[in-house]
A = this chain, B = another copy of it.
Amino acid sequence: MVRNSGPKIKDIGEFALIERLADSLGKTGRGPGQGVIRGIGDDAAVLQATSGTRILAACDMMVEGKHFDLSYFTPQQIGWRALAVNLSDIAAMGGKPRWALVSLGLKPEMEVAFAEGIYAGIAELAQKHGVAIVGGDTCSSPNCMIIDICILGEAYRSQVTYRSGANPGDLILVTGNLGSAAAGLSCLSSEKQLQIEGKERLVETHLTPFPRVGEAAALIESGTITAMDDISDGLALELHEISQASGLGAQIYQERIPQDEAAVSLAAHLEVNPLDWALYGGEDLELLLTIPGGNGSPYKARRLARILKRTTGTSLTLIGRMMDQAGDVEMVDPQGKTLPLPAEGYNHFR
């Protein structure tokens, strides 16, 4: 008899499922080391933080049909992406991600292999960053698949980087290219046959973004970062967040916003403005940061960019400056005209 599909989750039940998921993590789940005194398998994980550090904690929930579409996400990609957005949050605070807990709401009709695939994607990215999966929850969710990851990291007090630390005159920089994930999503949801060089790069940024963990560590190492945020809701909104938290304004130059050439070509094909992807698209997981302004600061920015490129391969671009006037977030267009930048971005529920 030929079987077209493996066992379903409802066939094996919760307890066997937990066993299989824990197994599919390999040493990312159960092994000793990494400060894990007890991982999966008791009421709570028991963790040993590095003495003198502060604990960083965040969580990020993804819901089927809202954050991911099962028609173009593989289970591995869902797992990867769910962990990536969490790693990005810890990186943006200047911390080292260490432990994660994974809550999964699964449809009973799903194949066990699907859930194992999610865990395989989580394990792959976790291993790259030395993160241990130490616990979580699995439950039945008849109407939609849900994945919620809680990430724990740590940082020495002097390394913790808040949104609120920017000062007037600070230079504003971003890592990598902005708007690629939004461009990738447009590729996936477009019905047109698109033949654009570099298209795969954009799609990959949407499906399996690389959180800038190593980049954040190298930047923090430089000792010059005054504020940092990851760009998960688009540049405009993140600029507003840093401005608001620091009680300042911000001015950026449109021509300086780094974008992937493929995104620009794609936008031309789709007859949309690629700038909208960069400003309001989000989900790139690039970093937005500020460094002190003043004499010699553009030189310092260039030196920091060279160091980052050499150590991580990632670019760093100077895009603007923090301003005195609280709440005024503006963009200077190529004609030199100053436009207000609204606090818009990806807003759930609307």
Contacts and interface: CB of A to CB of B under 8 A. Distances in A.
Interface of A: 9-10, 12-15, 17, 37-38, 41-49, 51, 54-63, 65-67, 88-90, 92-93, 95, 99, 101, 103-106, 108, 134-144, 146, 148, 150-153, 155, 160, 162-164, 229-230, 245, 343, 347-350
Given A93-B42, A348-B138, A56 B47 contact: yes
Enumerate the 10 nearest inter-chain pairs by beta-carbon distance, A residue then B residue, closest first. Answer: A150-B150, A44-B58, A143-B143, A14-B348, A47-B55, A43-B89, A43-B92, A44-B56, A61-B103, A148-B148
B163 A57 contact: no
A136 B60 CA distance: 7
B67 A349 contact: no
A139 B66 contact: yes
B106 A41 contact: no
30 contacts: A10-B350, A14-B348, A17-B349, A37-B54, A42-B164, A42-B245, A43-B88, A44-B56, A44-B58, A44-B90, A44-B92, A44-B93, A44-B95, A45-B58, A46-B56, A47-B55, A48-B55, A55-B152, A58-B101, A59-B137, A59-B148, A65-B143, A66-B142, A103-B103, A139-B348, A140-B348, A143-B143, A144-B144, A146-B148, A150-B150
Given A44-B153, A89-B44, A349-B13, A58 B135 contact: yes
A60 B93 contact: no
A114 to B, nearest CB: 13
A150 to B, nearest CB: 4
B134 A67 contact: no
Given A61-B146, A136-B59, A348-B14, A46 B160 contact: yes
A91 to B, nearest CB: 8
A90 B44 CA distance: 6
A150 B43 contact: no
Contacts of A160: 37-38, 46
Nearest to A8: B349
A140 B47 contact: no
Contacts of A54: 37, 46-49
